[in-house]
Structure 1
C-alpha cells in the first residue's frame, strides 16, 4: 500500500494506535468509542476512516506483533525465546489482554492469526490454521486468568506444539 510509505500516513496511523493503547490501558475495550479514539489521536473522523474501517481494525493492528509471533509459533518458525518474550509482554499487560481475548474480540484475533498462518501456508490450511490459532488463544486465556498455572517456558513450548495441528493427517 502506498500509504505505508508516506511519512504522514505512518504518523497518523501511529497517533491512532498510540491513542488506542492509552485508552485500552484505562478501560474496557467495549467501552472505547471511535469518537473518543479520534479525539485522543487529534485527527478528524474522515482521517480515521482513511486508515481504519473500525475500532476492531485498530485493535488488530495494535496487537499485530503478538499475532505474528503466535502464527510463526504455529508454523514452527518462531524460537522458544521469541515466544517467551511475547508471553512476558502479554503478562505485563494481562489486564488488557484478558479483556481482549474474550468474546467476539478473541474470535476476531483467532481469525487474524489463522489468516496469517493460511497466507504463509496456502489456502488448503484454513481449518488447521483456525484450530491452531484457537488452541493458542485458549491456552493464553486460561493462563492469564490463572485457571491453569504453568511456567512461561512450558506455555511457550505448548504454543510451539500447536504446529502439530497443521500437519497433514494422511
Structure 2
C-alpha cells in the first residue's frame, strides 16, 4: 500500500496542513516556525519530519490543489470548468491568497508551478530551454491571479480561466 494512502498518514498530513493554514491566516509566512506547526498540529517533531522536510514543503502541500490545475492549464491539459472552479475557490479565500502570492512565498510558489510544468513538457528541438518556457507560463499565470485577487483586473472567473488556458500558447509547437 502506498504510504500516502494510509489513513494515519493522511490524517497526520492533513493536520499539519490545516495547522499551517490556520497559522498563515494569523501571521506572516516568514514568522511561522516549524515548532509552531508541530505544536498547532499536535504531532511530535519526528512525526512531522517523517511527512515533511520543513515548512516550505507544507506550504506546497497546502497549495497543491491550486497549482495542479494551473500546471495543467499551462500545458493545455485542463478544462475551462476545472480552472474556473479552482479560481472560484481562490476568490472565496482571496485574503489568504494575497498573502501567499506576495513576496518570497509567491516566488516559491512560482518556482514550484514552473517545476510542475517543466516536468510535463516535451522537449522541442530549436525551442527555448524547457525551464525558461515553464517559468514564463508560471509567471504569466500567477501574475494574472495576483492582479485578479487584488482587484487590479476585474473579470468573472470563467473569463480568467480562458486566459489561464491561453498560457498553453507559450509552449513551443511540436
TM-score by structure 2 length? 0.89
- Secondary structure (helix, strand or coil) at the match of 2:152 reads coil
Counterpart CA distance in 2 for 1:143 and 1:14 is 29
Offset at residue 33 of structure 1 (A): 2.1
Q: How many residues align?
A: 169
Counterpart CA distance in 1 for 2:18 and 2:102 is 22
Q: 2:132 aligned with 1:132, yes or no?
A: no
Higher helix share: 1
1:76-135 C-alpha deviation (Å, 9 max, x unpaired): 111111111101100111111001111111111111111111111246522111100010
> Which shifted more, 123-132 or 43-52?
123-132
2:162 pairs, out of 142, 151, 157, with: 157
Q: Which runs of 5+ in 1 are unaligned?
A: none
Q: 2:19 aligned with 1:14, yes or no?
A: no
Q: Which residue of 1 aligns with 2:116?
A: 116
Offset at residue 2 of structure 1 (A): 4.7
Q: Which runs of 5+ in 2 are unaligned?
A: 124-128
Q: 2:37 aligned with 1:27, yes or no?
A: no
Deviating above 3 A after TM superposition, structure 1's stretches of 4 or more consecutive aligned residues are: none
